[in-house]
Amino acid sequence: MKKKLFNKLVRDNIINKIKDEGRIPNYRIMKNDEFIKELNKKLLEETCEFIENNTIEELADVFEVILKIMEVMNISFDEFERFRMKKKNENGGFEQKIYLIDVNE
């Protein structure tokens, strides 16, 4: 039997999909400290996939991971939005598409 190695966090329904295909998954449930580390890796993975493909599906994957990180860190969407708006008010957004080349000091 051929084995395909993953060693990564997957979505909740993936195990059942693998079983439904007649394959046998080897998995475990992580403890919280490991889970947050794996969420961070997943955020990087999904962000890279979005950069490669620029699709709404990949962007939704990035957002799903961000929402789970917020949940694990006990950050409400309202609290997150307050911090986002504070930074936007202080530093602006990206509406003007400014690309900083250099600064003479």
pLDDT tens-digit readout, 31-57: 999 999 999 999 999 999 999 999 999
Question: Buried (b) or exposed (e) across 8-26, using 16+ Cβ within 10 A?
Answer: ebeeeeeeeebeeeeeeee
Contact residues for 81 (Cβ-Cβ < 8 A; gap 6+): none
**pTM recorded for the entire structure:** 0.88
Structure tokens belonging to residue 95: 């509406």
pLDDT at 1: 75
